[in-house]
Amino acid sequence: MKKPISIIILVLIYTGLFAQKSSDALRVDFFRSGNDTLEILTMKQVSMQHNLSIGKHAWIDSVNYGFYRIDAYNEDGELFFRRGYSSLFNEWRTTDEAKIMNRSFEESVLIPFIEGDITLKFFSRDFDTKWNLQYAYSFNSQSVQVVKKSYHEYPVEDLKITGSEFEKLDILIIPDGYTADEMEEFKNDAMLVIKGIMASSPFIDFEDDINFRAVMAPSEESGTDFPHENIWKNTVLNTTFNTFGTERYLTTFSYHILMDIAANAPADHILVLVNTDEYGGAGFYNFYSLAAAKSYYRDFLVEHEMGHGLSGLADEYYTSDVAVNDYHPTHVEPWEPNITSLVDFESKWDSLVSEDVPIPTPVKEKYMDVCGAFEGAGYLSKGLFRPAYDCTMKSVGYNNFCEACKRAVASMIRWYAH
């Protein structure tokens, strides 16, 4: 992968002052644009938002996951917030299309509101997995640089509440392609999804640590887009199949609208349910997870995509057609917790491997159910290794996370649920 050139253009929208609340946040909206070698950040606005759900114990992200990162410093130069994440752009820029054209994608990050001067630093990870500073921007949180506006209010349903949003993992479920007359149907689908999540491992071990809410945001039309079939629907999130030319890849590019809807309730992680029975979904770390709500494979899709979105897990398959090229490095250790190049295996799941299991692990009957390092992962048949012969991140199988993936998911839940 070529090293991108980073350019920053800032455009801020102004408004008045605001009052501080314990759940107040600053929402940073921007666009990430470019191609396979060029990366441009264009600021849209910094605005005031309520319903911050991250407890102070989790303000500084210590797991070091994601392709991008934003750091926030107070007026004394002290780091008070760090958030790693991934987005559609980091996938798109490895596609063939990115070699011949420019595109722009929406991104947003929520940081806790504090009074006074704040400096934001934007970082991007290169193909050596090293962080590169892209830009630093300073502003005063109580100045007219910060937009104060109201977002469209939708009803919010508390589907499963186990405690304070500051001490639990808060999963917010948002619909797309459900009309106003289908809101009860969406609620029923959401309850089925929750049942599937909480019956699977390791979520089953965290019954009292996860909150689920749903925003009742209707669409004008039922369903979603199928561009390859010339089917187009007017939906609140504009979800679409055929993302990056892959038919089953179901995503939304309307991230700022998604964040507007999510502003109605606490959300550590956003799960979008799309009103379709066609197989499809997507997941981006600390961005969103998305799945076809009526697919026969719904429970697997939700579990797999939340593996990406909530826990930063990589795809472990390597034979399916994908649009990305050279997505994971093999000359250094990739950042995802469930794949390894063996460059620094001790930093991954080495502690879970028995002494009698060889590394790399051969595909033999006696190793089919053990934790090892099986070659083939992250869209590559050679050079990357996965923890188990089979796993929910490798093939279609509900409640089949390997031990390394279970550990990563459980660790993330514990990080939120203080």
DSSP state of 60: B
38 inside domain: yes
Tens of pLDDT, residue by residue over 141-193, are 999 889 998 889 999 999 999 999 999 999 999 999 999 999 999 999 999 99
Mean pLDDT of 222-246: 98
Angle between helices 298-309 and 183-198 (to 10 degrees): 70
pLDDT attached to residue 198: 99
Separation between Cα atoms, residue 187 and residue 156, nearest integer Å? 11
DSSP state of 196: H
181 inside domain: yes
Is residue 360 reached through a cis peptide bond, with omega within 30 degrees of 0 on the bond before it? yes
366 inside domain: no
Domain boundary among 300, 315, 330: 315
Statement to judge: residues 176 and 80 lie in one domain: no
What is the enclosing helix (H) or strand (E) of 158?
strand 156-160
pLDDT attached to residue 68: 98
Statement to judge: residues 209 and 248 lie in one domain: yes
Statement to judge: residues 57 and 162 lie in one domain: no
Question: Average pLDDT, whole number, for the chain?
Answer: 94
Separation between Cα atoms, residue 401 and residue 302, nearest integer Å? 13
Statement to judge: residues 15 and 124 lie in one domain: yes
285 inside domain: yes
pLDDT attached to residue 2: 47
Statement to judge: residues 227 and 90 lie in one domain: no
Query: Which are the contacts of 224, defined by CB distance < 8 A and separation ≥ 6?
Result: 176, 177, 233, 235, 239, 240, 241, 250, 274, 275, 276
Q: Provide the CATH number for the domain around residue 288.
A: 3.40.390.10
Q: SS3 for 244?
A: helix
pLDDT at 338 over 50: yes
Domain boundary among 99, 129, 147: 147
pLDDT attached to residue 402: 98
50 inside domain: yes
Statement to judge: residues 169 and 139 lie in one domain: no
For the chain, give the number of residues.
418
Statement to judge: residues 86 and 196 lie in one domain: no
pLDDT at 5 over 70: no
pLDDT attached to residue 22: 58
Statement to judge: residues 68 and 139 lie in one domain: yes
Domain count for the chain: 2
337 inside domain: no
Mean pLDDT of 321-329: 85
Q: Provide the CATH number for the domain around residue 138.
A: 2.60.40.3250
| Residue-number span of the structural domain to which 69 is assigned | 5-147
Work out the burial of residue 33: count CB atoms within 10 Å of its CB; fewer than 13 is exposed, 13-18 middle, 19 or more buried: middle
Separation between Cα atoms, residue 31 and residue 385, nearest integer Å? 34
Q: Any idea which of 3-17, 46-60, 208-222, 367-381 has the lowest mean pLDDT?
A: 3-17
Statement to judge: residues 130 and 221 lie in one domain: no
Mean pLDDT of 294-314: 99
pLDDT at 69 over 80: yes
Domain boundary among 101, 118, 147: 147
Mean pLDDT of 190-203: 99
Mean pLDDT of 306-322: 94
